Each structure stands twice: as structure tokens, then as C-alpha cells.
Structure 1
Amino acid sequence: MRAVVQRVSRASVVVEQEVVSSVGRGLCVLVGLCREDGDDDIEYIVRKLLNLRLFEHPEKQKRWDASVKELGLDILCVSQFTLHACIKGNKLDFHRSMGPEKAPLIYEQFLQRLRNNYELERVKDGKFGAMMSVQIENDGPVTINLDSKRRDE
């Protein structure tokens, strides 16, 4: 499982000219599922999202000292199967991405685990499988790449 994590001032997802989700200050997370992803991958990404110290601590005025969970901020998750694309010449190959028969279930399990470990109303998501316009106002910018298969990097 891969996640591109961006610290945002606000973010929203639009599908067919309709806002389906929006958040204020917090994280926007692009989530890509790999064919082999399972419960262990979900657990790793959820733990990192909630505990990474990407924010300034409001009382200590210290950078990189507070997590989204500590500050009670929002999280917007957007499924993005292209995160596991392979490039062959100038062509994209998606054989590493999880297929459409299993991906919606695993993605929903990921969202449920995130909500269960945080605050239900703070975790929003786009529309799985839809063409979306993701509007992001970066804060920093701060962008971190997580990969459950490469935990030491």
C-alpha cells in the first residue's frame, strides 16, 4: 500500500461538478493499493497517518512535533490506483495495482480502520473509482511518501 501524504490548509473532492468531500486543516492522502496488500499493510499506513509528526506543536512552538491525531485535524483520503503504475517506455502498466474486484473492499477496510482509530467525523474520502477533481491547498508544502512494503526507507 502506498500513500502520498500532503499537509493541507484545506482540500476537497469534486465529482461531476459536485463537492463530495471537503476538509479544513490536516492531511490529504492519495492511497494506492497493491495486489498483495492486506491487513498488515492497512495497519502500518493507518498508524503512520495518525502518528507522523508533520505539524508544529501549538504550545511548544516546535516544528515537526505534533501529529494530526494530537491536534484533532482532518484527513481526506482519495483512492488512486496509479500510485503502483510501472512505466515501460512511455506507456503505463498497472499490473501491480489491486484489481477492481478486490480493491473497493480493501479500501473500505482501510477507511474503517482509520475511522476506528481516530474520530469518525474527521476522516473523509472521495468516491472510489470515479474521475475526481482533487483541490488541494498545500501547507508548507509538506509531502511524505509512505510504502507499506518499504518501511525502512
Structure 2
Amino acid sequence: MRAVVQRVTNASVTVDGEKISEISDGLLVLLGISKDDEEKDLDYIYRKVVNLRVFDDENGVMNKSLIDKENDLLLVSQFTLYGDARKGNRPSYVRAACFDDGVEFYEKFIEKAKQDNINICTGKYGADMQVELVNNGPVTILLDSEKEF
């Protein structure tokens, strides 16, 4: 499982011309799910996302997490995080999860956040989405459950 985590002052998702989700201060997470992912991958990525210390403390040091600050989380599925462009110019997505497996892990991530009382908003799994954001910092962190980076 892979995640691109961006600290934002605001972010939104639009589908078919309609804004379906919007957050203010918090994290925008683009989530890629692999066909080989297991529960341990989900647990690792989820824990990392909500506990990343990327928000300023009272001294202006990035030392607070999403949970500490009680900020918002916008989760957007992005199978292209498993695009492999090492050979040729057209990325291969053979490592990406099939739709049913991907949506299952995506929904489990959402449930975990709700159980932790995190204000979570979402994109629409599998849809053609337009994502707008103002990256705060900019702060962008790459996560991979296989620790490839």
C-alpha cells in the first residue's frame, strides 16, 4: 500500500462537476492499493498517516500529528500510485489491486478513521475525480508499506 500525504490548508474533490468533499486544515491522502496488500499493510499505512508529526506545535516545530491537532483528513483513492513506467512510456498498472479488493481496503481505512473519531471526508472510489488543494509548507510525505521508499 502506498500513500502520498500532503499537509493542506484546504482541499476538495469534485466528481462530474459536483464538489463531493472538502476539508480545511489537515491532510490530503492519496491512497494506492496493491493486489498483494494484506491487513498488515493497511494497519501500517493507517498508523503512519494519523500519527505523522507534520503539524506545528506551540514552538513552530513540526511535532504534532493529525490526531493531536484534531484536524481533517481527505482520503482519495489513486491506483496510479502503482504505475510502473520503468519500461517504455506507458505506465503498467499490473500491481494495482482489482476494483473489489481495492474498495474493500479503502473502506476499511475509512472505518478505522471513524473509530478513532477523525473527521474524514472522501473521494469516490474508482471515479474520475478532480482534486484541488493548497499544500501547506509545502509538506508532502511518501509512504509505502513495503518500505520501498
What interval of TM-score do these two structures reach, taking the shorter chain for normalisation?
Answer: over 0.9
Partner of 2:109: 110
Distance 2:114 2:45 in 1: 13
Q: Normalised by the size of structure 1, how large is the TM-score?
A: 0.92
Give the counterpart of 1:74 among 49, 61, 72. Answer: 72
User: For 1:83-112, what per-residue CA distance to the aligned partner results, in whole angstroms no more than 9, with x for missing partners?
Assistant: 011112111110000011321112111211
Give the counterpart of 2:126 among 126, 129, 143. Answer: 129
Number of residue pairs matched by the alignment:
148
What secondary structure sits across from 1:27 in the alignment? Answer: strand
4+ long deviations beyond 6 Å:
none
Aligned CA-pair RMSD: 1.2
Q: CA deviation at 1:138?
A: 0.7
Please tell me the residue identity of whatever aligns with 2:62: W
What secondary structure sits across from 2:76 in the alignment? Answer: strand
Give the counterpart of 1:85 among 83, 86, 91. Answer: 83
What secondary structure sits across from 1:93 in the alignment? Answer: coil
- 1:24 to 2:21 alignment: no
Q: CA deviation at 1:114?
A: 2.3
Unaligned runs of 5+ in 1: none
Unaligned runs of 5+ in 2: none
What secondary structure sits across from 1:102 in the alignment? Answer: helix
Q: Percent identity?
A: 41
What secondary structure sits across from 2:47 in the alignment? Answer: helix
Q: CA deviation at 1:50?
A: 1.1
Higher strand proportion, which one?
A: 1
Distance 1:112 1:33 in 2: 16
